[in-house]
Structure 1
Amino acid sequence: MDTRPFGIDFGGSGIKGALVDLGDGDFDGDRVKIKTPQPATPGAVAEVVAELLGHFPNRTGPVGITVPGVVHRGVVGSAANIDPAWIGEDADALFTKATGHEVHIVNDADAAGLAEVRYGAAKGRDGLVIVTTLGTGIGSALVYDGALVPNSELGHLELNGGDAEQYAANSARENEDLTFEEWAERLTEYYSMVEALFSPDLFVVGGGISKKSAEFLPLIDIRTEMVPATLRNRAGIVGAALWAAEAAAHH
């Protein structure tokens, strides 16, 4: 039997999963992807997750699943970017019942943050590391001495009278056709505020746009060290598997 943990990244377009080797923080074998059902209600997603796990018949390890919403003890709280039917859903129980395996869900930004601290850009760093993902919104993860402080939602801090992510996310850069210089000015405002509130030791900047970090990270003018994320699109799956393995060990 294969007891390695399994990570699943539940996104808007695809539900992707792989076995994870927690020694090196990478996929162990192939990644399988299935299109996200429309509408992506809890029942429909649970069916896809069960189908995805069916590709790995011999695995018995814990399963971790990222969810793009606040997660409190396995229950989905707010969910700005997924079907409203998720709100109040005990997703741990739903997925455990649908798959016959112990399942633990975790916020998607938190999963990526855990992975970056354990295996990626912040490996070996202690103190407070804040991992942010710049995408449609701004996801955040607070990790202190390796321990996750979940559901930080720092993209929803107020900046210039609105939600910070509406002003400074990568989607704002795209929608308003900002140059990297113009965007970096907004990011400086955003990160200056987070820096003032939390005094972190390190910022890790992820999201798809982090591939172009050389074009904007050096332009962000704050005191705290900033580095690009390194795990890229592996971070969600790896972090979900890590979260599940550690949750299973606590039981």
Structure 2
Amino acid sequence: MAREMLGIDIGGSGIKGAPVDLSDGSLARERFRVDTPHPSKPKAVAKVLAEVVDHFGWDGPVGVTYPGVVIDGVALSAANVSKQWIGLDAASLIADATGREITLLNDADAAGVAEMRLGAGRGRRGTVVLLTLGTGIGSALFTDGVLVPNTEFGHIQIDGRDAEIRASAKARDEHDLSWEKWARRLSEYMVQLEALISPSLIIVGGGVSRKSEHFLPLIEGVRAEIVPARLVNNAGIVGAAMAAAAAHPVETAEPAQIRAAGRAGGRQRANGTAEAAR
């Protein structure tokens, strides 16, 4: 019998979720998506999360991603959602709205955990960074498979502005950039990122990674290997489900190392786990 956990990914434009088969990261049911409320205030977003939970009739723990820094369930930044999230015990708010135990973690960290365990980063040692190109630029940093949480490399300054303002997928759409012009902006960003952390592998995720053949071959000046994410835009959902499984080993009967990660992360207000990526 498949071991499943519900994962929900909060994005700047949409909130999407699905039960995940933890054995292989596949979606056990068709993904359900609802537009992110605008303005994306906490209570409005929590109401949508409850709608997603109810859609699946889910009565167990839930993994949820948040597009910003999360420590012990508290949101500490809000680049692409309402500033009302900052300093909020977001895990408890969502738990109250859904009536479920919530494991909350950074959205890019969730995607990275999924890619490192089941996708393009599987088995890779050394320094690996995943970049999610969407409304902003999210990042997840790993060293020998261990997550360094909440890196937020999309906010590296280039010419006095956050890199994501120029190089996100949203920026490409807003400025109607050709693949070539966008690739030049990504190259500039990745060169600066590489100078800071010297990765051996850069994984490019987000929905636009489905079209990676149009822009990844055009990136120049980067020494690291650059590959598209294998789980594409479902990586956040999968990673959220994996983090919830790590925090609730009894419900999912996960392997010993995932159970240990769950104990380290704690219940309801966990940040996700380094071990879940292994």
TM-score (structure 2 length as normaliser): 0.82
8 Å CA contact retained: 2:12, 2:135: no
Task: Show the counterpart of 2:186.
Answer: 187
Task: Show the counterpart of 2:270.
Answer: none
- Over 3 Å counting, the alpha-carbon distance change for 1:83 and 1:190 in structure 2 is same
Task: Show the counterpart of 2:204.
Answer: 205
8 Å CA contact retained: 1:136, 1:171: yes
- Over 3 Å counting, the alpha-carbon distance change for 1:83 and 1:176 in structure 2 is closer
Q: Which runs of 4+ in 1 moved over 4 A?
A: none
Task: Show the counterpart of 1:51.
Answer: 51
Q: How far apart in 1 are the matches of 2:152 and 2:114?
A: 18
Task: Show the counterpart of 2:10.
Answer: 10
Task: Show the counterpart of 1:19.
Answer: 19
- Over 3 Å counting, the alpha-carbon distance change for 1:166 and 1:15 in structure 2 is closer
Q: How far apart in 1 are the matches of 2:112 and 2:84?
A: 26
Q: Does 1:240 align with 2:240?
A: yes
TM-score (structure 1 length as normaliser): 0.90
Range with bigger deviation, 165-174 or 236-245:
165-174
8 Å CA contact retained: 1:19, 1:27: yes
User: 5 Å matches for 1:1-251?
Assistant: 4-57=4-57, 59-60=59-60, 62-221=61-220, 222-248=222-248, 249-250=262-263, 251=266
- Over 3 Å counting, the alpha-carbon distance change for 1:58 and 1:81 in structure 2 is closer
Range with bigger deviation, 26-35 or 65-74:
26-35
- Over 3 Å counting, the alpha-carbon distance change for 1:30 and 1:162 in structure 2 is closer
Number of equivalenced pairs: 249
Letter in 2 for 1:101: R
Letter in 1 for 2:53: L
Could you tell me how far 1:58 is from its partner in structure 2?
Answer: 5.8
Could you tell me how far 1:3 is from its partner in structure 2?
Answer: 6.8
Q: How far apart in 1 are the matches of 2:42 and 2:170?
A: 27
8 Å CA contact retained: 1:4, 1:59: no
**CA RMSD of the aligned region, Å?**
2.1
Could you tell me how far 1:38 is from its partner in structure 2?
Answer: 4.2
8 Å CA contact retained: 1:3, 1:59: no
Could you tell me how far 1:97 is from its partner in structure 2?
Answer: 2.5
Structure 1 gaps, min length 5: none
Could you tell me how far 1:171 is from its partner in structure 2?
Answer: 3.2
Q: How far apart in 2 are the matches of 1:101 and 1:176?
A: 41
Q: How far apart in 2 are the matches of 1:20 and 1:167?
A: 34
Could you tell me how far 1:131 is from its partner in structure 2?
Answer: 0.3
Could you tell me how far 1:93 is from its partner in structure 2?
Answer: 1.3
Could you tell me how far 1:43 is from its partner in structure 2?
Answer: 2.1
Q: How far apart in 1 are the matches of 2:162 and 2:223?
A: 23
Share of identical aligned residues, percent?
56
Q: How far apart in 2 are the matches of 1:179 and 1:161?
A: 24
Can you list the C-alpha shifts for 1:145-174, whole angstroms capped at 9, x where unaligned?
222211111111111232212232233333
8 Å CA contact retained: 1:135, 1:209: yes
Letter in 1 for 2:116: V
- Over 3 Å counting, the alpha-carbon distance change for 1:49 and 1:167 in structure 2 is closer
Q: How far apart in 2 are the matches of 1:101 and 1:187?
A: 39
Aligned to 1:26, the other structure's residue is in SS state coil
